[in-house]
Amino acid sequence: MNRVPASFFAEVAKDCWMRRPAQWSQPFTAPYASEDEVMAGLLALREALERGDDSTRPRVFSGDRQIGFSLDRHLPTAEDVDLAGFEARLRAERSGPDTGMVIGEFARLTPALWGRAMGFLRGLYTALGAMPPGGAHAEVFFGDYARSFFGLHKDRLETFTFIVRGRKRFLLWPYEALADQPGVLADRPLHAFNFDDIDLSTLRPGACILEGGPGDVLFWPASAWHVAEEAAPGFVTTLTLAVAPSTMLAAGSPLRIAAEGFDEAGRDAYYTLDPALPLPHSPPGGRAGVEAVEAALQRVLVDPTFVAARRAAALGWLSTQGFARGPERLELAPLDRRDRLRVCSPILVLEADESTLVAAANGILLSSTPPFLPLVEALTLGRVIGVGDLVDSLRAAQPEGPDEGALIEALRHLVAAHALLAAP
């Protein structure tokens, strides 16, 4: 069940999105994420790193400098029990004055956090009327630092900060307040920029201050300059969910799909499309060489292998609602007619050609022959289905379609893609 009311998203879309900062005091029936859920995510990350999966690594800071990450020191263990225990151990073991840690791609670490992010983005995009093209990000910020280790800066993200533990304060300024500073592009309110050294004391009187505690929600637009500072002594844990409204450089976003297409199909698959280049030192070599490269790029863009890979990459990105990566595919588990399943995420479908269907859920791509389509169309978000009932109805509607074994096998793959979850 989505704990965020539609009225919250309506307010964001109408009054805040790409406009102004805002804060809400415990606006949901339950906090966006609990301490236990964040602790579970940190333990899941530790387990991933211990088994050699270092695709997500924390960035650790002391003061205003980044320091080396230590698995034993900087992530909790089961013996810590909870965030309070982790904080106490970290405080006792460290040698520096304070500690800060940022962990990216946090939503994909546990099913609960991933489902929460998917539900929030679904509600937000519905209120906005479209999915922003720049991609989505989920990070955890943890530490007891006096001031943000990133300093005064801005990024390209419309940012929601959910306070999980402790108190958090941000100082914010509109873009035009610092648009005349050296290096700032006055007409580019969405570009990212960090000030290396700036006197905050002169800026503080004009700052908008956002501050909250557990369960509160803070928001600022991509155009806002901001810096975090200590609101009260002690550690603070926040979870950030941010969306880029227009940048096309984020991983997976539309102008990066071409690169994803190369990666998916394998760059060596395109050697037959290589340009025939003239000698670069010959008088006409410059112009002729550029024209040959342009012609080769045009051939790549319409090459069937590249088109298929590019479309599959776009479908996968759309199915994560803008995240660069979704959760890891699960191992296939047994499934029989007596099992019941809940549809917990949308399944996007793309008919690749007359004989192949490509589907995606949570960034995981699946393919099948066209008889798979009625199965996907029968799955409605939030619905609980009995495997036997679904199989019987599909077999009755399409007697010449896939048999019971093939349909159950397809459901097993959808469970592995986190689209279906066992239901009581």
Share of the chain above pLDDT 90, in %: 63
Asked if residue 422 has pLDDT above 90, the reply is yes
Report CA dihedral (28, 32, 35, 38) to the nearest 10 degrees: 180
Answer for the pair 103, 71: CB distance below 8 angstroms, yes or no: no
Six-digit token string for 64: 């205003």
Residue 255 has, within 13 A of its CA and on its CB side, a CA count of 8
Once rounded to an integer, what is the mean pLDDT over residues 136-144? 95
Q: How many other C-beta atoms can be found within 10 angstroms of the C-beta atom of residue 85?
A: 14
Query: What average pLDDT does the chain have?
Result: 90
Poorest-pLDDT segment among 180-189, 244-253, 324-333: 244-253
Answer for the pair 241, 151: CB distance below 8 angstroms, yes or no: no
Once rounded to an integer, what is the mean pLDDT over residues 294-305? 88
3-state secondary structure of 170: strand
Give the pLDDT score at 266: 67
Q: Where in the chain is the domain with CATH 2.60.120.650?
A: 6-243
CATH superfamily of 6-243: Cupin (2.60.120.650)
Asked if residue 2 has pLDDT above 60, the reply is no
Poorest-pLDDT segment among 305-319, 349-363, 382-396: 349-363
Q: What is the pLDDT of residues 10-26, one digit of tens each?
A: 999 999 999 999 999 99
- Could you give the CA distance from residue 266 to residue 222 in angstroms, rounded to a whole number? 35
Asked if residue 254 has pLDDT above 80, the reply is no
Q: What is the pLDDT of residues 221-237, one digit of tens each?
A: 999 999 999 999 999 99
Answer left, alpha or beta for residue 249, where phi above 0 means left and psi between -120 and 50 means alpha.
alpha
Q: How many other C-beta atoms can be found within 10 angstroms of the C-beta atom of residue 214?
A: 18
Poorest-pLDDT segment among 134-143, 166-175, 350-359: 350-359
Please name which of 271, 267, 347, 283 lies closest in space to residue 315, comparing C-alpha atoms: 347
Residue listed under structure tokens 């791609």: 105
Q: How many other C-beta atoms can be found within 10 angstroms of the C-beta atom of residue 282?
A: 10
Q: Where in the chain is the domain with CATH 3.90.930?
A: 340-422
Asked if residue 64 has pLDDT above 90, the reply is no
Give the pLDDT score at 199: 86
Once rounded to an integer, what is the mean pLDDT over residues 147-156? 89
Q: Which residues pair with 169 in a beta bridge?
A: 211, 229
Answer for the pair 272, 161: CB distance below 8 angstroms, yes or no: no
- Could you give the CA distance from residue 268 to residue 284 in angstroms, rounded to a whole number? 29
Once rounded to an integer, what is the mean pLDDT over residues 73-86? 95
Report the sign of the C-alpha dihedral through residues 186, 192, 197, 198, in that order: positive
Q: Which residues pair with 102 in a beta bridge?
A: 59, 141
Residue listed under structure tokens 């460290």: 94
Res. 307 pLDDT band, cuts 50 70 90? confident
Q: What is the pLDDT of residues 90-137, one digit of tens each?
A: 989 887 778 899 999 999 999 999 999 999 999 999 999 999 999 999
Q: How many other C-beta atoms can be found within 10 angstroms of the C-beta atom of residue 268?
A: 6
Asked if residue 264 has pLDDT above 70, the reply is no
Question: What is the fold of 340-422?
Answer: Outer Surface Protein A; domain 3 (3.90.930)
Once rounded to an integer, what is the mean pLDDT over residues 160-164? 98
- Could you give the CA distance from residue 42 to residue 197 in angstroms, rounded to a whole number? 33
- Could you give the CA distance from residue 333 to residue 46 in angstroms, rounded to a whole number? 25
Entry field: residues in the chain: 424
Give the pLDDT score at 165: 97
Amino acid at 2: N
Give the pLDDT score at 1: 43
Please name which of 365, 361, 325, 321 lies closest in space to residue 344, comparing C-alpha atoms: 361
